[in-house]
Structure 1
Amino acid sequence: MKTLALVRHAKSSWDHPGLDDHDRTLNERGLRDAPVMAARLAASGLRPGALLSSTAVRARTTAAVFGEALGIQPDLDERLYGAAPGTLLRVVAERADDAVLVVAHNPGLTALAQHFSGFPAGADAISHMPTCAVAVFTFDVPTWDDVAGAVPASWSFDAPRD
């Protein structure tokens, strides 16, 4: 059994237009939403063996909040910054842990969440991962390499406005 939790970074600030995208910080809403969503995920009972994060400041900050709530240190990986779904899955597949949480960015997270939540055909797929949204997918497969082509055994979705 493998569990993949996807978290889009919390809301970031656009107050400094000259700042490099990678260096944008969280705004007030992001700083407020991240602890709430981290607490909700912790209350669900999920205990990931690994927490992987993009190196972007907004993702690292979000991951630190989730890590504190879940009692785990984030591992930063520059490949997660702007990663496509295939890259996200390849980075996760390098882990031996049965449950992995990934903090990263759109459009890759939404595309991956849409793909996995679209089963069975006609299901209410996740159409958008808003900031600080959490999607959790459980797969009845033995290895991470099997996840890409698998249909989730179950999935859930939570967003700050829910």
Structure 2
Amino acid sequence: MKRLLLIRHAKSDWANHELQDFDRPLNKRGNKNAPEMASRLLNQKLVPELLVTSPALRAFSTAEYFADVLGLEKAGIVQEKDIYEASSSTLMSIINSFDDQYNFVALIGHNPGLTNLAINLCNCDVYNIPTCGMMLIQFPFDHWNMISYWTGDQKMYDYPKSTIE
């Protein structure tokens, strides 16, 4: 059984219009929400073995908060350049290439690709994963390369403004 946790990066700062999109940092709310959402995972004893993140500053910063709260070493964060601005099919290729030694992986990325991936993986009724939103999807497979569209089962969906904890 494989479990995939999709995490959209926390809220980013748009104040500096000189910055490229890739280099936008987290804003005040993003810096608050990321550790809060990681704590919710910890409270549910949902700790991924590996965090695979977009290298964009806002996504990597989100991953660092999650790694810190969940007690993962920084070595537990892998940057994957193809996650940035990825389509659902590109994200699927990345997932299919995960090392089978890991049974629970978190993928930290961006919309619209992340939401489209979630919809395609488990036919969920979520139409927009908000910033720092998380969705846990479980698959009945032993190998990541067996995962394809509509083979997952949504186990959890949470986001900063929800009342689920």
Question: TM-score, normalization: structure 1?
Answer: 0.91
Q: Does 1:86 align with 2:89?
A: yes
User: Quick check: 2:122–2:149 contact (8 Å CA) kept in 1?
Assistant: no
Question: Aligned partners of 1:18, 1:139: CA distance in 2, in Å?
Answer: 42
Question: Aligned partners of 1:33, 1:155: CA distance in 2, in Å?
Answer: 21
Note the alpha carbon deviations across 1:9-49, whole angstroms, 9 max, x for none: 00000001121000000000101111110111122212222
Note the alpha carbon deviations across 1:102-149, whole angstroms, 9 max, x for none: 11000100101122342xxxxx61111100000000111121111114
Note the alpha carbon deviations across 1:54-90, whole angstroms, 9 max, x for none: 0000000000001112222311111111111222122
Give the partner amino acid of 1:111.
Answer: N
User: Quick check: 2:53–2:107 contact (8 Å CA) kept in 1?
Assistant: yes
1:4-15 alignment to 2 at 5 Å?
4-15=4-15
Instruction: Classify the secondary structure of the residue corresponding to 1:155.
Output: strand
Question: Aligned partners of 1:6, 1:110: CA distance in 2, in Å?
Answer: 9
- For 1:34, the equivalent position in structure 2 comes to 34
- For 1:74, the equivalent position in structure 2 comes to 77
Question: Aligned partners of 2:90, 2:130: CA distance in 1, in Å?
Answer: 20
Q: Does 1:3 align with 2:8?
A: no
Question: Aligned partners of 1:156, 1:115: CA distance in 2, in Å?
Answer: 16
State, as a whole percentage, how many aligned pairs show the same letter.
Answer: 36
- Structure 2 regions of 5+ residues with no counterpart? none
- For 1:121, the equivalent position in structure 2 comes to none
- For 1:157, the equivalent position in structure 2 comes to 157
- For 1:116, the equivalent position in structure 2 comes to 121
Measure how far apart 1:150 and its partner are: 4.6
Question: Aligned partners of 1:84, 1:144: CA distance in 2, in Å?
Answer: 18
Instruction: Classify the secondary structure of the residue corresponding to 2:138.
Output: strand
Aligned residues, how many?
A: 157
Question: Aligned partners of 1:92, 1:136: CA distance in 2, in Å?
Answer: 14
Question: Aligned partners of 1:87, 1:2: CA distance in 2, in Å?
Answer: 19
Measure how far apart 1:153 and its partner are: 3.7
Question: TM-score, normalization: structure 2?
Answer: 0.89
Question: Aligned partners of 2:153, 2:60: CA distance in 1, in Å?
Answer: 30
Q: List 4+ stretches of structure 1 deviating above 3 A.
A: none
